[in-house]
Amino acid sequence: EVQLVQSGAEVKKPGESLRISCQESGYNLNNYYISWVRQKPGKGLEWMGRIDPIDSKINYSPSFQGHVTISRDKSISKVYLQWRSLKASDTAMYYCARHPRGQSGHFDHWGQGTLVTVSS
């Protein structure tokens, strides 16, 4: 069974750092990218960036380039989303999703989401 299991909710203060994770299982990891998607309260879905399973090359949305870092640890099948200095505006639900390497980019499985709250 394909599973993307995300780490639990976080409450942080502005300026703090944070890393959340997405654990992949149940499929050949080499065949799928992992992307991160942000959803602010009451708003729509925003693509943040993706990581390649083979060479760990990362493509960021211009809106998020420089604000977050995506990485992976292949040895434990985890993908990470990291902030060095959180802002209140980073308060949102964050989802990981997989999509196939190749021509089709449809997100066919989603994680359950990680709620990040940034408040002083």
Residues that bind another protein (CB under 8 A): 35, 37, 44-47, 50, 59, 61, 93, 95, 97, 99, 104-113
Give 106 or 120: the residue with its C-beta nearer to another protein.
Answer: 106
Q: Single out the residue of 39, 18, 25, 26 nearest to residue 85, CA to CA.
A: 18
Decide whether 50 or 72 has the Cβ nearer to another protein: 50
Adjacent-strand bridge partners of 78: 23, 73
Beta-carbon neighbour count of residue 63 at 10 Å? 12
What span, in angstroms and rounded, lies between the C-alpha atoms of 42 and 23? 26
Cβ distance to another protein smaller for residue 45 or 54: 45
Q: Name the minimum Å distance from CB 1 to another protein.
A: 9
